[in-house]
């Protein structure tokens, strides 16, 4: 199923989009938000779309052909937004959207290794040019570092036990696939489970691999540091009156966004447009359960 843009109408309203402005979608993905942003800023506007995943760029490129305003699509990590804009000779922008995390397209492609539900290589790199895969971390990190990673990025309280079991197992055979790792984690939680449907085996509960997979994905893609740098870089590129909107999907990310916005506010650099984070309404949740944990925060530069 193609990726559905989350909180779309709220993003369009709160980013204060209007014809003629320059807007950045720094997480282009399937282009769901970007196409609608393009319509709002056309015909004289300029849209810049970034993604660190070249497959996302190729998949969404046809959606901008023909484009209703100037569009530049760039393969780049949003932590390097200032550099990307300077390469395009753009001195400042009026709106930036960060819709962080991974897309349904990435999750559903078994060869990317994001899903514990699909057999695939234990990869999880959003940018295939980057060096470290999830398999490198699971097979290579010392036990304590692996436990710390699972605890910090997965908020998993059983991290020490999990790391011990993974390190014991890898002495006999490397972890190479998603199902291999997911199976080992299931066994740790009360015996082997033949998995047809996660929901059937763990009714009302998280799958035991959820937090470990989240932790590995965050580490492989250096997601939290990229977010910190991406926020600072986006803010530095905004024109006065410009708006930065961030959609996050878990508390680790949302905490960073919230604290950064409060710091900028305290420094007198801008106003927080969303006093509380905006969350999806019932209608959106019914249509797109993946939107469940989404939170949108928007700040305006003064």
Ligand X SMILES: C[S@@+](CC[C@H](N)C(=O)[O-])C[C@H]1O[C@@H](n2cnc3c(N)ncnc32)[C@H](O)[C@@H]1O
DSSP 82: H
Q: By C-beta, is 186 or 254 nearer to ligand X?
A: 254
**Cα–Cα distance for residue pair 131/126, rounded to 1 Å:** 11
SS3 for 257?
Answer: helix
Answer for which of 16, 22, 27, 260 binds ligand X (CB under 6 A) is: 27
Does residue number 49 form part of the binding site for ligand X (CB under 6 A)? no
Q: By C-beta, is 31 or 208 nearer to ligand X?
A: 31
CB 98 within 8 A of CB 15: no
Answer for which of 7, 21, 23, 29 binds ligand X (CB under 6 A) is: 29
CB 74 within 8 A of CB 84: yes
The count of residues in the chain is 302
SS3 for 221?
Answer: coil
Take residue 293 and report the two structure tokens written for it: 């944990």
Q: Which stretch binds ligand X (CB under 6 A): 71-79, 169-177, 256-264, 275-283?
A: 71-79
Does residue number 217 form part of the binding site for ligand X (CB under 6 A)? no
Q: Which stretch binds ligand X (CB under 6 A): 95-103, 113-121, 207-215, 281-289?
A: 95-103
Does residue number 77 form part of the binding site for ligand X (CB under 6 A)? yes
Q: Which stretch binds ligand X (CB under 6 A): 76-84, 107-115, 151-159, 207-215?
A: 76-84
Q: Which stretch binds ligand X (CB under 6 A): 41-49, 52-60, 150-158, 165-173?
A: 52-60
Sheet holding 46-51, edge to edge: 70-75, 46-51, 22-25, 93-99, 238-248, 295-301, 270-272
Taking the complex as a whole, the smallest distance from the CB of residue 137 to ligand X amounts, in Å, to 18
Q: Which position has the token pair 């972890």?
A: 175
Does residue number 273 form part of the binding site for ligand X (CB under 6 A)? no
**Cα–Cα distance for residue pair 39/33, rounded to 1 Å:** 10
Does residue number 226 form part of the binding site for ligand X (CB under 6 A)? yes
Answer for which of 103, 178, 179, 214 binds ligand X (CB under 6 A) is: 103
Number of residues this chain uses to bind ligand X (CB under 6 A)? 24
Does residue number 3 form part of the binding site for ligand X (CB under 6 A)? yes
Taking the complex as a whole, the smallest distance from the CB of residue 122 to ligand X amounts, in Å, to 18
Q: By C-beta, is 147 or 231 nearer to ligand X?
A: 231
Q: Is 85 exposed, middle or buried (0-12, 13-18, 19+ CB in 10 A)?
A: buried
The CA–CA distances, whole Å, from 47 to 57, 65, 188, 260 equal 14, 13, 48, 25
Take residue 147 and report the two structure tokens written for it: 């436990």
Residues 247-266 that bind ligand X (CB under 6 A): none
CB 223 within 8 A of CB 130: no
Taking the complex as a whole, the smallest distance from the CB of residue 3 to ligand X amounts, in Å, to 5
Q: Which stretch binds ligand X (CB under 6 A): 45-53, 83-91, 129-137, 205-213?
A: 45-53
Q: By C-beta, is 124 or 212 nearer to ligand X?
A: 124
Which residues on adjacent β-strands are paired with residue 96? 24, 244
Which residues touch 271 (CB under 8 Å, ≥6 apart)? 265, 299, 300, 302
User: Which stretches of the chain bind ligand X, using CB under 6 A?
Assistant: 3, 5, 27, 29-33, 50-53, 56, 77-79, 99-103, 126, 226, 230
């Amino acid at each position: 199923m193609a990726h559905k843009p989350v909180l779309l109408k709220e993003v369009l309203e709160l980013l204060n989009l209007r014809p003629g402005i320059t807007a950045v979608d720094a997480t282009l993905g399937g282009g769901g938000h970007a196409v609608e942003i393009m319509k709002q800023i056309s015909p004289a506007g300029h849209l810049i779309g970034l993604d660190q995943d070249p497959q996302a760029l190729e998949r969404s490129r046809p959606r901008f052909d023909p484009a209703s305003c100037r569009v530049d699509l760039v393969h780049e990590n949003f932590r390097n937004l200032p550099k990307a804009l300077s390469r395009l000779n753009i001195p400042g922008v009026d709106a930036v959207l960060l819709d962080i995390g991974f897309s349904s397209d990435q999750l559903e492609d078994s060869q990317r290794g994001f899903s514990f539900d699909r057999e695939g290589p234990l990869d999880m790199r959003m940018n295939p040019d980057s060096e470290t895969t999830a398999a490198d971390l699971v097979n290579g990190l010392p036990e304590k570092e692996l436990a710390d990673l699972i605890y910090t990025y997965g908020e998993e309280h059983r991290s020490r036990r999990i790391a011990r079991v993974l390190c014991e197992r890898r002495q006999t055979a490397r972890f190479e696939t998603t199902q291999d790792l997911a199976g080992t984690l299931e066994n740790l939680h009360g015996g082997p489970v033949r998995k047809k449907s996660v929901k059937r085996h763990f009714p009302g509960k998280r799958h035991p691999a959820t937090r470990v997979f989240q932790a590995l994905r965050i580490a492989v893609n250096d997601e939290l540091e990229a977010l910190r740098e991406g926020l600072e870089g986006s803010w530095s590129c905004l024109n006065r009156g410009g708006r930065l909107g961030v959609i996050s999907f878990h508390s680790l990310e949302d905490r960073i966004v919230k604290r950064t916005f409060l710091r900028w506010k305290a420094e007198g650099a801008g106003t927080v447009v969303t006093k509380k984070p905006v969350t999806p309404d019932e209608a959106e949740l019914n249509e797109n359960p993946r939107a469940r944990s989404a939170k949108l925060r928007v700040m305006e530069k003064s």
